[in-house]
Amino acid sequence: MIELARQHRQRLFEAMPENGMVVVTSGAEVIRNRDVEYHFRPQSDFFYLTGFEEPEACLVMTKRCDEAGQTKTMTGLFLRSKDPEKETWEGKRLGVDMAPNRLKIDQAWSNDQFESVMPTHMAGMETLWFSFDQLGHWLPRLQPMIESLKAQGRKGVTAPSRLEDLDHLLHEHRLIKSEAELAKLRKAAQVSVQGHLAAMQSVVAQRFEYQLQADLEATFKRHGAKREAFATIVAAGENACVLHYTENRAPIGANDLVLVDAGAEFEGYAGDITTTFPASGRFNQAQAQLYNWVLKAQRAAVDVIAPGVSYFQVHETARRVLVEGLVDCGILHGEVDALIEAEAYKPYFMHGTGHWLGMDVHDVGAYKQDGQWRLLEPGMVMTVEPGLYISSEDEKAPSDFRGLGIRIEDDVAVTDTGHEVLTLGLPRTVAEIEQWMQAHGEN
């Protein structure tokens, strides 16, 4: 990841105007309760540019034009100093001396040097770039330094005169994945596949949602994932109609469908898969009918993914098939176009068909440009996850469908000629799922 991060910095330097400074923080540890911290994960922008995972670090990148008209760049890092006593309790720190060579950067300083070192590098800069999501963090620290530099104007010292949101620049870079990043996403996807297969295999032998979650997440760990990419959803029966259900404490009924939405994080990159399967290993007629329509919508949406296709066209494609399915199942009545126009499907399909995927499970990058849905480009990675959710309290729906929640999700990369499904390896059709569970299920 260190070499990949260096390449990311180089790309950012090339896009930056001269006499600009970028600052990005890793974030700090957060107390969970008393003196116990949440497990630390660096902010994605910081990790993207450094490959460094310690808390309380700050990346500084400067690009300036010197008096000879030459462009000079500098990459520096503020980080925690070595501390033998704390390292005994908390683990080894990289330290200032090792950082330049290990992280392939120019300079490193201890955090207690921030106030003294930063003004030197800020002098002569025209623009400061940082994420405006962190205005509350940066303004109190940078404002006194800017004021101090402005007070030295008679000495020829100049201070930054513009603040720019780094997100607009950096997040467009993160949206288009390199081949090295795609390799990590493929690995995250395939580790995620193994976790979902483990859940399908063990469901017959388990009584509670959390037991299924344990099997899935243990499989992630066994295949090298450091953590889950997001909070795992294991939703049995009508719990699947709650889109972000994460309690995972309910019993699994023998005739329930189980919706599992989970992904592994591998070397900073996320997988994101949703599977829906019968706890018994067999779909009943209503479950199979609704499932087949969701699968048809999902496959139709995946099939349209290619360079030059509007992002929204993927959603439109899935939406039309889902509405056709709602009519076929007797849940909606009328002409498909009229039902779409009236948004009659919204009680049953209330979310988008996907999102960008990368270091964050809901990854960065604009969905629209100049007010228009953007066109897909090679290197983009997105999820495709249509679903149908029929409330148990919906008296207008046929009783056999009430309480069913079905979502099917895969991770898809846009290629030069079309697309690549990263999450291949899961049984998806009704017949495939039933056959796989019969052959592999625990009794």
* Active-site residue flag, 8: no
CA distance 85 to 194: 41
DSSP 376: P
Maximum C-alpha span of the chain = 82
CA distance 157 to 388: 62
Contact 146, 127 (CB under 8 A): no
3-state secondary structure of 112: helix
Contact 181, 269 (CB under 8 A): yes
Q: At what angle do helices 179-202 and 430-440 cross, to 10 degrees?
A: 70
* Active-site residue flag, 362: yes
* Active-site residue flag, 207: no
Supply φ then ψ for residue 61, to 5 degrees. Answer: -125, 130
* Active-site residue flag, 133: no
Among 181, 238, 261, 434, the active-site one is 261
* Active-site residue flag, 83: no
Contact 164, 172 (CB under 8 A): no
* Active-site residue flag, 409: yes
Contact 9, 75 (CB under 8 A): yes
DSSP 154: G
Among 167, 217, 272, 410, the active-site one is 272
Among 409, 410, 411, 434, the active-site one is 409
Exposed (0-12), middle (13-18) or buried (19+): which is 53, by Cβ within 10 Å? middle
* Active-site residue flag, 389: yes
Among 217, 389, 419, 428, the active-site one is 389
Residues contacting 18, CB < 8 A, separation 6+: 63, 64, 65, 71
* Active-site residue flag, 416: no
Supply φ then ψ for residue 269, to 5 degrees. Answer: -115, 145
Among 186, 196, 355, 402, the active-site one is 355
Among 32, 222, 249, 362, the active-site one is 362
Among 141, 351, 374, 440, the active-site one is 351
276 half-sphere exposure, CB direction, 13 A CA radius:
32
* Active-site residue flag, 45: no
CA distance 387 to 2: 39
* Active-site residue flag, 351: yes
* Active-site residue flag, 333: no
Active site residues: 35, 244, 261, 272, 351, 355, 362, 385, 389, 407, 409
